[in-house]
Structure 1
Amino acid sequence: MIIDTHQHVFWHGRDDAGLIADLDEHSIDLAWLLTWEIASTEDSPAYHHVLNPEHLRPDGTHAGIVLADLIKARDRYPDRFVLGYCPHPCLGDAPALLEAAHRMHGARVCGEWKFRMLFDDPRCLNLYRKAGELGMPVVLHLDVPYLNDKATGRPVYQPNWYGGTVANLERALQACPETTFIGHAPGFWREISGDADQAASHYPEGPLAPGNRIEHLLERYPNLYADLSAGSALRALKRDVAFSRNLLERFQNRFLFARDYYGGELMAFLRQMDLSDSAWSAIVHGNAQRLVPLDAETVPASTMTLS
């Protein structure tokens, strides 16, 4: 079995049938579908071309990847999708909305958390604690608010930031030890190198410097996992393949196969890494099944006998 733990629907030009076709093409049995609620004050028109135009607001801002689309897709393909949902912590009673989605619609994952606020904002902590109470892992998108200017070294503000810094992530991990978090996105994966704070790009390249924070966080916080989705993870892993293989082997019970898009580039790279059987099984399905146990209704019939 292969589980894609970070996926969206009605996204990048594909509807739910298009996503199923892509899963089939790459022999992926199941996908976690995640929302992305966009407040009108956080809208970025640069994303509009990859989102469902049905959800454009009258004021020209976009509502994002909404729960209703995910429910529609899950109900059409109940044995292929696990429902996720993350309400905006600033809009309404987010913990109550999360619990309602869990009880009414069977949401199993709190994600994607992708908002222009700090991870350790009290309103976010309340949401995380509810997710922990409900047994829902929280998928966090981290994009830092500042990058260093290449010429001067001075910090340059990044308007499309989400979560703050790895320090804000660490405080959330400390504040909510009963909640499982899944790190994701450029701000998280740049921490594979110890010189991340000096980076002038969201996607740093070149040799890795010692003292990376990803290992530090995984060692210190058993409630932290990481998904391998999007170009951010793949680019980070390719910076030093030998180091990355050792990292995946050492923390094999904490990494999750995930794409956030389509295609087979990540799977091909993981196969080339020649991981141990135990690491491979844990990453491509075992860890996901441990975090979100599957019942008979959500296990594809073709895999019912597989471990």
Structure 2
Amino acid sequence: MCQQPNINRREFLAGTGAMLLAGAFAGASQPEPIIDIHQHVHYAARPDAVLIAHQRAMGIAQTILLPAGTAAFGTSTHGGKTNGLQAQCTGNEACFQISQQFPKEFAFGSNEVPDLPDAVQEIEKYLKKGGCVIGELKFGLDCDSKEMQHIYKLAEDYNVPVLMHWQFQMFNFNFERFPKMLEKYPKVNFIGHAQTWWANIDKGHSDQSILYPKTKVTPGGLTDRLLSDYPNMYGDLSAGSGLLSMTRDEEHAKSFLNRHQDKLLYGSDCDDHIGSGEQCQGAQTIAEIRKLAASKAIERKILHDNAKKLFRL
């Protein structure tokens, strides 16, 4: 059902070489630990050994691997076009196996296509093995559908967060109705991620078809309000959308990071192979957080402490 990791000797040596090269330029001092809550196995065909080296090069102490669901061909995967989280990512067993090989560095989530008949059972199987989150839920279903609510209830039963990819007319439909789910499942911690989530930090964001807005931000958008008003709502700063939410208006971002310092989590969601430089989105996001955080305490919360607490790492 899921592809197994393929960490052969040749790939591992190549990946380790990249890690050592990056370390040579990083200096001898040990960096403060960072938790990356959002990475994937076989992301855009990246070899597993290169993933491991990439995370080490970025200075990540612990990484949460988010699996894809089973290959399926219904409406929730757009006829199969978005299998593998639309990025060739592998599933539960692949993430679990890497966590077993490198238990100090990698934790794993659990996932399944929600409208498959055994979705809850498949997710529960890996929660029982130690999965610390459900997701990334990236499927073409209403956010308040019965299939999604079955998963929210499972998260409540196992006391694990749910990470959701919000993308207008593509994944997790009807973002504006999600407050009802936060109210219905107050014991479940939800983590928002992706384009529609981050576009809606802006109160002036009216055209939801614009996924990567670059205008200045007026505080008070739906995302801003959800983080303020609901104790069980968190934000994942990963991907291009998370990085853009800061770089599009750095003055706003400074106040936003300060306002939601206990609710924001660092993630990379990066398919880069090196772990540094302009091509590495994950490294750029770390640098932006460090640049904009008003204090060292806020920086440490976002890069480490909030995730450690939320995921009980």
TM-score, normalised relative to structure 1: 0.81
Structure 2 counterpart of 1:292, one-letter code: F
Deviation of the 1:181 alpha carbon: 0.3
The question of 1:119 aligning with 2:143 is answered yes
Q: Is the 8 A contact 1:5 1:258 kept in 2?
A: yes
Deviation at 1:166, TM superposition (A): 2.1
The match for 1:283 is 302
Amino acid at match of 1:273: L
SS state at 1:197 partner: coil
Query: CA 1:254–1:211 in 2, change beyond 3 Å: closer, same or farther?
Result: closer
**1:10: which partner in 2?**
42
Structure 1 residues 198 and 286, CA, compared in 2 at 3 Å: closer, same or farther?
same
CA distance in 1, matches of 2:293, 2:257: 11
Mapped to 2, the partners of 1:275 and 1:129 lie a distance apart of 37
2:84 touches 2:91 (CA, 8 Å); kept in 1? no
Structure 1 pair 254–117 and aligned structure 2 pair: CA distance change class (3 A): same
Unaligned stretches of 5+ residues in structure 2: 1-32, 273-279
- Asked if the contact 2:196/2:208 (under 8 Å) is kept, the reply is no
Q: Aligned equivalents of 1:88 and 1:99: distance in 2?
A: 13
- Deviating beyond 4 angstroms after TM superposition, the runs of 4 or more aligned structure 1 residues are 45-50
Partner amino acid for 2:284?
E
2:193 to 177, 184, 190: 184
1:252 has 2:261 as partner: yes
Instruction: Find the aligned partners of 2:108 and 2:84 in 1 and give their Cα distance.
Output: 23
Letter in 1 for 2:307: A
CA contact (8 A) 2:143 2:175 kept: no
Q: TM-score, normalised by structure 2?
A: 0.80
Asked if structure 1 preserves the Cα contact closer than 8 Å seen for 2:68 and 2:85, the reply is no
Describe the SS at the equivalent of 1:205. Answer: coil
Contact 2:37 2:64 (C-alpha < 8 Å) held by counterparts: yes
Counterpart Cα distance in 1 of 2:219 and 2:259: 17
Conservation of the 8 A alpha-carbon contact between 1:129 and 1:178: no
Over 3 Å counting, the alpha-carbon distance change for 1:199 and 1:168 in structure 2 is closer
> Counterparts of 1:91-106 in structure 2 under 5 Å?
91-103=116-128, 105-106=129-130
Q: Which secondary structure does the structure 1 equivalent of 2:44 belong to?
A: coil
Aligned ranges 1:13-32 → 2 under 5 Å? 13-32=45-64
Matching of residue 68 in structure 1 with residue 93 in structure 2:
yes
Q: Alpha carbons of 1:199 and 1:122: their partners in 2 closer, same or farther (altered >3 Å)?
A: closer
Q: Secondary structure of 1:204's partner?
A: coil
Residues of 2 paired with 1:188 and 1:255: CA distance?
13
For residues 93-116 of structure 1, the C-alpha deviation after alignment (integer angstroms, 9 at most, x for no partner) is 33333222111x221111111111
Please point out which of 256, 265, 278 is paired with 2:284.
265
* Helix, strand or coil at the partner of 1:130: helix
The change in CA–CA distance for 1:49 and 1:165 in structure 2 (over 3 A counts) is closer
In structure 2, relative to structure 1, the CA distance for the partners of 1:217 and 1:48 (3 Å cut) is: closer
Deviations 1:266-288 (A, max 9, x none): 11111221431221111111111
Which of 236-245 and 199-208 deviates more?
Answer: 199-208
